[in-house]
Chain A
Amino acid sequence: MIGTGSAPSPFGQLSGPTVRKVKDPFHGDLLEVSMGPQHPSTHGVFRMDVTLDGEVIVKLKPVFGYLHRNHEKIAENTSYLGSMPYTDRLDYLSSMSTNWAYALAVEKLAGLTVPDRAQYLRIILAELTRLVNHVCLVGFLFNDLGTSFTPLLYAFREREKIIDLFEALSGSRMMCNYQRFGGCRVDPTPEWLAAASRLVDNFPSFLDEYESMLTGNEIMLARTQGVGRLDPKHAINAGITGPVLRASGVNYDLRKVDGYGFYPRFDFRIPLGDHGDTYDRYMMRILEMRESVKILQQAFRELPAGPIMDPKAKLRGFRPKPGEAYGRLESPKGELGFYLLSDGSPNPYRYRVRPPSLINLTLLEEMCLGHTVADAVVILGSIDIVLGEVDR
């Protein structure tokens, strides 16, 4: 490997595809390319400083910060509730999950409970968000594979249906701002629930249609199988979570491990991959969507009546006791955590987001080494990053 300044792995050198070690005189010089921050397939303002030997990557340095919007500093200067709208803008494809993660951390910090109906509503909305996120991810991944826009059109057709539901419920298409500490903001009407249930029942047929076009596609198989392998030992050490980790065969899903919310009441399975390559990461998303549909159907069947807010929860003058809490949940991208430190004042003393998108990029260089530039784009697409969360 030619002068990679990356962190030495505690398990020794990674066994990736071989990279030419010695510069032989018949080859040309190495070429340094800066991909991004404006690049059609870096999913936003992400930049990779790539060193190329011909078309093969010998070094890759991610550069962050082009969307560093100082979320943490702003949150430390506003009230606890005032940060809720900002969490929408962290992971702007799945704002409901991000809301929930923040609410979960504050509830842990202040010791609030959540009524049953709100717990079910949270699961319904989080799983709908997972559908939106994964379906868009697959669309973007195929964009990166070169099937410009067509799978994305199908994906956005479904996304529009789901975010219409979000809009009917919360008033905004993307920035839902729905969860509150100790419950939810508005109660859905029976018509909303019926419409959502109908959508979920129709979703598997869309998935079948989608998969019939994509999964067996020959070019897709050739471009993804064996590309960007990630082995479980390194993945765990690098803190990689979510579908990317499970594609490598590690059974670690916080919905099962932590059992937050009412997830222990639900009957679903965790799909696991064998190879940890891009194809497995793609399949994880498809299989997770099918499991999400199961969770949603069960939630619509069992949704109880009752209040949606903890009566003890205060929206105004909310001052948790001094202390700290780390709340985390399984967002569509991985483990999304909020670390909050309260000194008894209305503002958090320390507010920290543990972004899954950022930490899942830790091993991007190792995954890309020895592959071509075109594959690096696909590998990045399969990791599923949202820059609002990477840079915060």
Chain B
Amino acid sequence: MESLEQIRDRLLARFPGASITLVTNPGPAAEHSLLLSAEHARKIAMFLRDDAALQLDYCSNATGIDWPDKEVVETKKVAVPDPAGGPDKVVEEKTTRLEPGYLESVYHLYSMALRHGPVVIRMRTVNRSNRVTLPSLTPVWRSCDFQEREIYDLYGIVFDGHPDLRRLLMWDEFKDHPMRKDYVEPDDFEWEPTPHGAVLDRAKTHYPAPEVKP
């Protein structure tokens, strides 16, 4: 199989307006991925499936990832002139910046005909609100049907063009998206004999902390 850079270049030549970025994977697995812009994603997916050299006819895995907002602290060294006339003082200035979070969907593609893979493609939403949309790839690979419903259920990404987008695992009346990192579980813990960590914090709200023997 051609390398991911070659695939990216071919895609850029074929779809001039699309933004396709190579996301490198620093781990030992070195499975790099292509970040697709949402508006061209389905056309690109069709191309990946039908291209004679790639024939990625099998979408094995589709999943979501939640990246919450995070605070980035940037330190900048600023030279402040000394009012006494000496040499400039170097002062570190810290600025905190809120990097907006996003939701991501990841697809692992293989070719059953040519027996190669994986090609990993990913798409990102603009923010983490409740009505964020990404194009559905179910019309391209039917195997995304249940998996995209699961992502919708657990992460809250609304897939545009999905034929039957309902919750897959939780009940229909359920309002939350439990796999998001900021999801708060309903508090129905009971007392545990040796609570620790988050369980202990929750137990404290129900019962006084157990007295530990000296």
A339-B26 in contact (CB<8A): no
- Inside 8 A of A326's CB, which chain B residues have their CB? 29, 31, 60-61, 108, 118, 120
Q: Nearest CB to that of A257 among chain B residues?
A: B115
Give the shortest distance, in Å, between A363 (CB) and chain B (any CB): 8
- Inside 8 A of A337's CB, which chain B residues have their CB? 60-61, 108
| Contact (A65, B171) CB under 8 Å given A326-B61, A359-B147 | yes
Bound CA–CA A70/B25 (angstroms)? 27
Is B102 close to A, CB under 8 A? no
B112-A324 in contact (CB<8A): no
A324-B31 in contact (CB<8A): yes
Give the shortest distance, in Å, between B146 (CB) and chain A (any CB): 6
B60-A239 in contact (CB<8A): yes
* CB-contact partner of B25 in A324, A335, A350, A391, under 8 A: A324
Is B200 close to A, CB under 8 A? no
A7-B139 in contact (CB<8A): yes
- Inside 8 A of B29's CB, which chain A residues have their CB? 108-109, 111, 323-326
- Inside 8 A of B141's CB, which chain A residues have their CB? 10, 237, 239
Bound CA–CA A296/B170 (angstroms)? 41
Bound CA–CA A321/B27 (angstroms)? 6
Bound CA–CA A2/B49 (angstroms)? 30
A322-B27 in contact (CB<8A): yes
Type the 1/0 row for A4-26, where 1 means its CB is closer than 8 Å to any CB of B. 01111110000000000000000
| Contact (A5, B164) CB under 8 Å given A325-B27, A391-B169 | yes
A7-B142 in contact (CB<8A): yes
A108-B28 in contact (CB<8A): yes
Bound CA–CA A239/B59 (angstroms)? 6
Bound CA–CA A8/B161 (angstroms)? 11
- Inside 8 A of B164's CB, which chain A residues have their CB? 5-7
Is A268 close to B, CB under 8 A? no
B60-A64 in contact (CB<8A): no
Interface residues of B toward A: which range? 35 or more
Type the 1/0 row for A96-140, where 1 means its CB is closer than 8 Å to any CB of B. 000000000000111100000000000000000000000000000
B143-A359 in contact (CB<8A): yes
- Inside 8 A of A257's CB, which chain B residues have their CB? 115
Is A198 close to B, CB under 8 A? no
Give the shortest distance, in Å, between B139 (CB) and chain A (any CB): 6
B28-A5 in contact (CB<8A): no
Is A238 close to B, CB under 8 A? yes
| Contact (A239, B143) CB under 8 Å given A5-B164, A321-B27, A342-B27 | yes
B170-A341 in contact (CB<8A): no
> Which one of B26, B30, B60, B106 has the greatest number of beta carbons of chain A within 10 Å?
B60
Give the shortest distance, in Å, between A348 (CB) and chain B (any CB): 11
- Inside 8 A of B11's CB, which chain A residues have their CB? none
A64-B169 in contact (CB<8A): yes
Is A371 close to B, CB under 8 A? no
Give the shortest distance, in Å, between B186 (CB) and chain A (any CB): 12
Bound CA–CA A337/B112 (angstroms)? 16
| Contact (A362, B143) CB under 8 Å given A73-B179, A322-B27 | yes
Is B63 close to A, CB under 8 A? yes
Give the shortest distance, in Å, between A12 (CB) and chain B (any CB): 12
Bound CA–CA A107/B132 (angstroms)? 35
Query: Which B residues form the contact surface with A (CB < 8 A)?
Result: 25-31, 57-61, 63, 65, 106, 108, 112, 115, 118, 120, 138-147, 154, 162-164, 167-171, 178-179, 198
10 CB-based A-B contacts, threshold 8 Å: A7-B142, A7-B145, A72-B179, A111-B27, A111-B29, A236-B58, A238-B143, A321-B26, A323-B30, A325-B29
